[in-house]
Chains A and B, each alone.
Chain A
Amino acid sequence: MAVTIHEEAIHGRSAAALPAIPAGLRAAGPVIVLLLLGFLAPLLTVAAYAFATPKSFDVFRSFTFANFSAIFDTSNTVWMSFAWSLAFALATVALLAVIAYPIAYGLNRMFGKWSGFIGVLFVFPLFVSENVRLYGWVLFFIKNGVLDGGLKWLGFSGGPEVLYTPGAILFGMLYVYLPFMLFPMSLGIAMIPRDLVDAARDLGASRLMIWREIELPLAMPGILIGMLLTFVLGAGAIAESKILGGQSVITIAQDIEVAFTYAQNWPLGSALALLLVAIVSGLALYVLAKLDLDRILGKR
């Protein structure tokens, strides 16, 4: 009897002093608050602005779909910017997958003691500002610049006209986003057990079959992460079209920037940003769902 009373007293006291919040959650509390304030709050503010009266700062005080109806108005050509951005992002992903795979494979299997050094070479540009690197390419490709001037000096008629074209934008994106595809892909390839490849070879599998049936599926998580990362970054790219492309096409990030600056229309800019987030995340989730990660990862 005395024991029972004692237990009740203990349980009663602890329940009163500490509500039923697990210790882990309590410990994570400060980080959760920081994340909510630092990441979610700005996104929610942008979302709220998207439904505010156009050309006003009436956030949280007005609610309208006017910004979206302006975007979906048939006379509005902003869809062209969305199309360019998504096309560039998809082309960047597709081309980088082909370009980065052999490099990632080499870093893991071929370059031996040089792989660390070569890896550093690919990381090194990340220490320099993207804009500076892109301006460097402008000086390389510009008329009488490094390429054109160098070829003329060697007696040729000069270099090709590369700058200020959509091709130059794509080149810039491939250059800037290569490490973001390469390193997740390299990690993916590092996950392939060598024993499995050796066993397949001993059992008579051809090189192509080993690649298709073993290496590619096992490296797929890394490849997918690289593709996803590159696609999201590519869809929001702006510096390449501004610096290398001479704005030969207008990307959606630039339209958002103009809405927030010269047009003084934060609600429209927010609506465009929200739409971009929806399209990019929608496409990414759709592709991930279609690819069936479990099967790729060999869990089924």
Chain B
Amino acid sequence: MMKISRRNMMQMMGAAAFAGPLASATRAFAGRAKELNILCWEGYNSAEVLDPFRSSHAANVKAESLTNDPTMINRLRAGETKIWDLINVNNPWARKVMAPAGLIKPLPRAEFEPYFDTMLPDFKAPYRWAMSDNGEDLLGMAQRFGPYSFVVNTDKVSKTTAEEQGWDLFNDTALAGRYGIQESDDWNVFNIFLIAGINPFKEHTEEEFKAFSETAEKVFKGARMVGDMASLNQALVSGEIDLYMTGGTYSVSPARADGYPNLRAITPLTGPIDGKGGISWIEITSTVNNPDLSPLAIEFLKYVQDPEVAHTVAFAEGTFNPVSQMGNPKCFELFTKDELEAIQWDSLEEDMARSAEYDIVPDYDKALELMTAARRLRG
């Protein structure tokens, strides 16, 4: 029988004092093992996507959806790397901003690169936007993508006319008061540059900024409305407007799926970005540089690569989009004719070929200031 002496009582107390914090650390680790926090564009936060993962891992999964990339990056910069495990933003941010700033961590290449081999041909490993600048680290996984320029009601402006005239449609005074603008300021900066005939993704001269400013004033003054994509689709359907800028498969697909195939995302035939007329986006999902990263982050990234889940992601609530996993026949077969029609599969390849990939405008701050000032002149 063990005798408790004063000495071993002290030893036990010492051990307890040492083990106490470790015990709480273990509890914290155990908590993170069943917890996952995702900062994302809408869709990944839908119950259809999350619930099967929640139940199969008995995990507490939270997903917060925001409507623009800069805000999500801001959250990490402001110290929320301790909160989030996964971040889902558009292509340039992982490679050009988050990785250099140490906000995300690389993925194990051997585990994840095989998934790229089953994706559509353009996404084969090493896929540029998923890799670090030096081409060594895998920074995230690709999934949803699409062309994003403008949307027309083809009963009012034909597809051919829209493609041929491209951004000049917004210079056409006859269309003043007949178009809308989506409140998506980062993309509007790209588009105002394109309407002015300037490549947005380079450093700009004073003269180019003057042209940008004048174009912004003209375009915002001529707009019938500035609103969210649901309002713009509604306005297109009702006939309040005939077209809107900053739009694409992403914004118009819900209206097309609702029985308005006459509303169509358009990619201009030519334009000022090395001859390309439109801009496309590709979402990259990365693991956050969380000091206590949930092991479920890696599991979730693998889970959304599954053909059935990828199809669910493509048609998650809000918007309907093509996914890179459509390169896998097992995934592609799940898309019905109507679903392919909603995401404009018929012209997707040519639209993407005509598009430059979303990039960062080096002097975005100045352009945004000029555009915000121009927008105030509407009143």
Contacts and interface: CB of A to CB of B under 8 A. Distances in A.
Contacts of A84: 379
A261 B68 contact: yes
Interface stretch (A11-19, A198-206, A248-256, A282-290): A248-256
Contacts, number: 92
A114 interface: no
Given A246-B226, A246-B227, A144 B238 contact: yes
Given A138-B234, A264-B70, A250 B240 contact: no
A156 to B, nearest CB: 17
Contacts of A242: 183, 227-228
Given A57-B78, A144-B238, A164-B224, A261 B231 contact: no
B227 A163 contact: no
B225 A77 contact: no
A246 B365 CA distance: 24
Interface in B225-241: 225-228, 231, 234-235, 238-240
Contacts of B239: 143-144
Contacts of B227: 242-243, 246-247
A217 B238 CA distance: 50
Interface in B280-307: none
B68 A81 contact: no
A139 B74 CA distance: 35
Interface in B322-379: 365, 368-369, 372-373, 375-379
Contacts of A76: 373
Contacts of A163: 225, 240
A57 B379 contact: no
B378 A247 contact: yes
B235 A142 contact: yes
Which DSSP category, helix, strand, loop or mixed, fits chain A's interface? loop
Interface string B70-86: 11011001110000000
A263 to B, nearest CB: 6
Nearest to A255: B372
Nearest to B188: A262
Contacts of B79: 57
A172 to B, nearest CB: 13
B238 A142 contact: yes
Contact of A258 (B77, B234, B238, B372): B372
B185 interface: yes
A249 B224 contact: no
A241 to B, nearest CB: 9
A250 B225 contact: no
Interface string B35-71: 0000000000000000000000000000000001011
A247 B188 CA distance: 14
B101 to A, nearest CB: 11
B186 A262 contact: yes
Nearest to A70: B369
B379 A250 contact: yes
Nearest to A149: B238
Interface in A263-282: 263-266
Contacts of A55: 365
A145 interface: yes
A222 interface: no
Interface string A163-179: 11010000000000000
Given A142-B234, A261-B68, A264-B73, A246 B180 contact: yes
Interface in A182-219: none
Contacts of B378: 247-250
B375 A247 contact: yes
B376 A143 contact: no
20 contacts: A78-B376, A135-B231, A142-B234, A143-B239, A144-B238, A144-B239, A163-B240, A164-B224, A242-B227, A246-B227, A247-B378, A250-B379, A258-B185, A260-B71, A261-B68, A261-B70, A262-B71, A262-B185, A263-B369, A264-B74
Interface of A: 55, 57, 76-78, 80-81, 84, 135, 138-139, 142-145, 163-164, 166, 242-243, 246-250, 255, 258, 260-266
Interface of B: 68, 70-71, 73-74, 77-79, 180, 183, 185-186, 223-228, 231, 234-235, 238-240, 365, 368-369, 372-373, 375-379
Given A76-B373, A77-B376, A135-B231, 9 more contacts: A57-B77, A243-B227, A243-B231, A248-B379, A250-B375, A261-B74, A263-B365, A264-B73, A264-B74
